[in-house]
Amino acid sequence: MDRVTRVACVWVEAFGAAAVERADPALREAPLAIVAGTVPGRRVTDVNAVAREAGVRSGMEEAEAVARCPALVRRAASDETVASARRALLDACYGLSPRLEDAAPGLVFVDVAGLERVIGVDAVIAERLARVSHAVGLPARIGVAGTRTAARVAARVAARTSVIPPGAEAAALAGVALSALEWPTEVAASLARWGVSTLGELAALPRDGLAGRLGAAGLAAHDIACGRDAAPFQPWTPPPFWEEAQALDWEIDALPALEAVLERVLDRLTARLGAAHLAADGVQLRLALASGAHHARALSLACPMDETGPMLMILAHDLTARPPQEPVVGVAVQAHAVPRRAVPGVLGRPAAPAVRDLATVLARLVALVGADNVGAIAPVDSHHPDAFAPTSLRLESEEAASPPTGDDVLAFRRLRPPRQVRIDTDAAGRPCVVRGALSDVARVLHCAGPWRLSGDWWDTGRWSREEWDVALDDRTLVRLAHDVLRDQWLLDAVYD
């Protein structure tokens, strides 16, 4: 059996309702019930705290729940919403410890042994888990103890966080009332008949007697009372994708309404990425349509992002250019996650434009002129000086794009189009006077070259070129190009 010396339990009460509130935060202040089944036999499967105060309970028929609370908001159970919230809770905890157990929806065990050297004492760890859970839209109660069972009880009775010191599990659990926990109906009825009201009294009962009278359920109840783990720790391995989804109760056929839903989905997705210190360098959008078909788009982001605004703008521009052909009834966004890296700046240099801002400009250009007309220029494998082809644009990080720091670096500024000039040459054919360049007349002090280039002899557009680097008496350094076939001299570039 795995030996977990310190474990934290992260528990979200009424997880089905909490998952819906996470998708629609406005429902947190309203009485909410999750219903399943078909009319007229629909029943309540989960309720939030406001609905419980109004007397609504899980298992009630929908009609009875509405009679008790006329203002009750009902939402159909959604497996996609619960799955997204369950993954979000796991991602939040994964940012603190790589060893988790996904025990049930809304119930995660975190191995925190050794984290005191990194984060702090158990109370600090518990508070950190509470904060990251709340950051992904799932307020949780946290319990820390020496076993998963004791930590789960501590989380159930905690207002926010509760820590049981090492070795004090039996004493801490002894005073917990049985009514604070959920028990199988047969076990609860038997314990009530026997006058057992606390976990300490339950732990004092003979284990063999409980097994003989209540069977496996009695042994499980005794394990809880003693804070004993009956099964080994089962580590959770995160799948290689990050996805948020939301089902809709109505059809959306207008882009502004769809953007509002996308914003909420992206808010949840970026919160998860932020909790795990990740960013997205690509997203996949999948829209469920009213006919049962899907509208899918895969977009590569110009730079890794973890902010909702730029990602929303990119998706909105893409949907404007390629809108779905039917009303939308469901939204799912999947991100390709990469580690988030901090890029240091250079002292004394002005800050470069943020790559996320450049990415939004790129998205606007795509919306204006089309995706096929926006890209970057890449050199072609050729000796021709102007050989290039358009390719997809991908921005470099600030670290990769930062200029060299040496003071002896010259910038090579090419003139497009090149400027035609007149050249006087000496007996060897080397340029000695330049007319019509940066000044009217300049004398050549030094020159290097020529570098001869030619090719494409089979083409009518064949070319032959000689290039010279010359230093002029006006203190400029330029590159001259001689088009041999046309006998033209060009000012091709200036060294700055």
Over range 151-160, report the average pLDDT: 92
Over range 261-273, report the average pLDDT: 90
- Fold of the domain built from segment(s) 242-339: Dna Ligase; domain 1 (3.30.1490)
The CATH superfamily of 7-22+79-226 is Reverse transcriptase/Diguanylate cyclase domain (3.30.70.270)
Which residues contact residue 201 at a Cβ distance below 8 angstroms, ignoring those fewer than 6 apart? none
pTM of the entire predicted model:
0.59
201 phi, psi to nearest 5 deg: -65, -35
Q: What pLDDT does residue 354 have?
A: 61
pLDDT digits (tens, 9 = 90+) for 192-203: 999 999 999 999
Over range 423-450, report the average pLDDT: 82
Which residues of the chain form CATH 3.30.70.270? 7-22+79-226
Residue 398: is its pLDDT beyond 50?
A: no
Q: What is the C-alpha to C-alpha distance for residues 273 and 305, in angstroms, rounded to an integer?
A: 9
Residue 143: pLDDT band with limits 50, 70, 90:
very high
Residue 173: is its pLDDT beyond 80?
A: yes
Note the helical H segments in 370-479.
Answer: 398-401
Q: What is the pLDDT of the chain when averaged over all its residues?
A: 84
Residue 454: is its pLDDT beyond 60?
A: yes
E-only strand ranges, 177-325: 242-252, 278-289, 294-305
Residue 1: is its pLDDT beyond 50?
A: no
Note the helical H segments in 246-382.
Answer: 255-275, 308-321, 355-369
Over range 273-289, report the average pLDDT: 87
Which residues of the chain form CATH 3.30.1490.100? 242-339
Residue 285: is its pLDDT beyond 80?
A: yes
> What is the secondary structure of 116-150 as a DSSP string?
GGTT-SHHHHHHHHHHHHHHTT---EEEEESSHHH
Over range 29-53, report the average pLDDT: 90
Over range 257-267, report the average pLDDT: 91
Q: What pLDDT does residue 357 have?
A: 64
- Among 106-110, 339-343, 391-395, 400-404, the minimum mean pLDDT is found in 400-404
